[in-house]
Amino acid sequence: MVSSPSAIDIAWADPVFRVTGLRDRSRGAMTAFFGLSDAQFDRIASGSGRVPLRPAWQMAARIRNVADPRLERLLLIGILAIIAMVIGTVQWLG
């Protein structure tokens, strides 16, 4: 069975990263090289039981959200505002 490469495999395969200081494929080397915390690394690179490998567009979105989480927070606030309006409308009409 052939598996798709992980985010770590792809980073390690890039010769520019290796030349500029990426030591090996370990978690510690990746977090140190990219300047990520463990939580940020998990958020970007980890899959789940349902989706062990995420598509490239989703990985890019995760990286953008780690780099600048404002858009993700705005989305969450928007969803919460919609839920509050729905609940308010139901209570007002009921």
The pLDDT profile of the chain, 94 residues, written as one tens digit per residue, is 446 667 777 788 888 888 888 898 888 888 888 888 888 887 777 766 666 666 777 777 777 777 676 777 778 888 999 999 999 999 998 7
DSSP summary character for residue 4: P
Q: Residue 2: inside a domain, yes or no? A: yes
- How many domains, the chain? 1
Full-model pTM: 0.53
Q: Quick one: which of 32, 33, 26, 21 has its CA closest to 9?
A: 26
The amino acid sitting at 62 is: R
Q: Residue 67: inside a domain, yes or no? A: no
Q: Residue 12: inside a domain, yes or no? A: yes
Residue 47 sits in which domain range? 1-54
Q: How many CA atoms lie within 13 A of 50 on its CB side?
A: 0
Q: Residue 48: inside a domain, yes or no? A: yes
Q: Which residues contact 62 (CB under 8 A, 6 or more apart)?
A: 43, 44, 54
